[in-house]
Amino acid sequence: MELNGKVAIVTGGGGGIGSALARAALDAGAKVLVADLDGDAAAAAIAGVDGDRALAVGADVSDEAALQGMIDRAEAELGPVDAFFANAGVATGAELGAADEWELALDVNLIAHVRAARLLVPRWLERGGGYFVTTGSAAGLLTQIGSAPYAVTKHAAVGFAEWLSVTYGERGVRVSCLCPMGVRTAMVEDGLASDDPAARLAARTVTTAGAVLEPEEVARVTLAAIADERFLILPHPEVLEFYRRKGADYDRWLDGMRRLQRQVDQAP
């Protein structure tokens, strides 16, 4: 899909990858509704863009009524929604996490995607096509040292994106799944500065495993993948090799990840 002339919704668009995706889509000629829990941040992401090309809303993606409202507003003011970037996410829960942390991670990192798909896929099937872009994580293909809620819900997000592609791909619904490692976002920066040792461990693992990319680079790679209609989007190409090693010898991979956790945990 080329985004020129299309209508897109980007959730979690108030900063980081989401903001970069929104700006890249606008630069590509799309009309974009940017949604974020912080409505002011969403508005800042599209500052200077004509109102007939961009909208900003403050919305909680874990609220189905809020998702319905943003889709209805986009279709009323911008046109039928062609692409949905399920980008909003939370990194919550150290180690095993608390019950409320699991509930939040499941709601935002997974169930929000399911709700959005339930609202959009029937419309896309009627119109003959649409594009669902999931922001997963390398943690969804590998794991996340330091946080079970994040690792598990990102695995689930990747699994749901796979299911969407298998089930509706031959009926015009295209799906891509973005799985980066370290990106210079508030989520990573907050983890590095956290008072929680487990949160710092998770952030240090991400920032030491490979290059820390700028959000704009991730957005550029994402739009190129969408143009080619590729499912797996890997801004860090080495993730594919890590994934292959995991599949080739699971026990050896687990042993290597335990060594990595020990090394990061013992680092100054």
Residue 2 in any domain: the answer is no
pLDDT in tens, 201-231: 777 777 777 788 999 999 999 999 999 999 9
CA distance 180 to 146: 17
Q: Which domain holds residue 70?
A: 7-262
What's 251's domain CATH number? 3.40.50.720
Residues 6 or more apart whose Cβ sits within 8 Å of residue 265: 201
**pLDDT for the residue numbered 69:** 97
Count the Cβ atoms, other than its own, within 10 Å of residue 189: 13
Residue 142 in any domain: the answer is yes
218, 17 Cβ separation under 8 angstroms? yes
Residue 181 in any domain: the answer is yes
Query: Which tokens belong to 97?
Result: 């996490």
Residues 6 or more apart whose Cβ sits within 8 Å of residue 176: 131, 132, 133, 134, 161, 222, 225, 226, 229, 230, 231, 232, 233
Overall number of domains in the chain: 1
**pTM, entire model:** 0.93
User: Which amino acid is residue 233, in one-letter code?
Assistant: I
Report the alpha-carbon angle 163-167-172, nearest 5.
Answer: 120
Q: Which class for 89: exposed (0-12), middle (13-18), buried (19 or more C-beta within 10 A)?
A: buried
Residue 122 in any domain: the answer is yes
pLDDT in tens, 130-187: 999 999 999 999 999 889 999 999 999 999 999 999 999 999 999 999 999 988 877 7
pLDDT in tens, 48-89: 998 899 999 999 999 999 999 999 999 999 999 999 999 999
Confidence of residue 26 (pLDDT cuts 50, 70, 90): very high
What single-letter DSSP state applies at residue 213?
A: B
Query: Which tokens belong to 169?
Result: 């791909």
Maximum C-alpha span of the chain: 56
Residue 267 in any domain: the answer is no
Distances (CA, A) of 117 to 30, 59, 96, 103: 20, 17, 29, 20
**Catalytic one of 150, 168, 243, 250:** 150
**pLDDT for the residue numbered 146:** 86
Q: Give the pairing type, strands 7-11 and 31-36.
A: parallel
Angle at which helices 215-228 and 16-27 cross, to 10°: 50
Catalytic: 150? yes
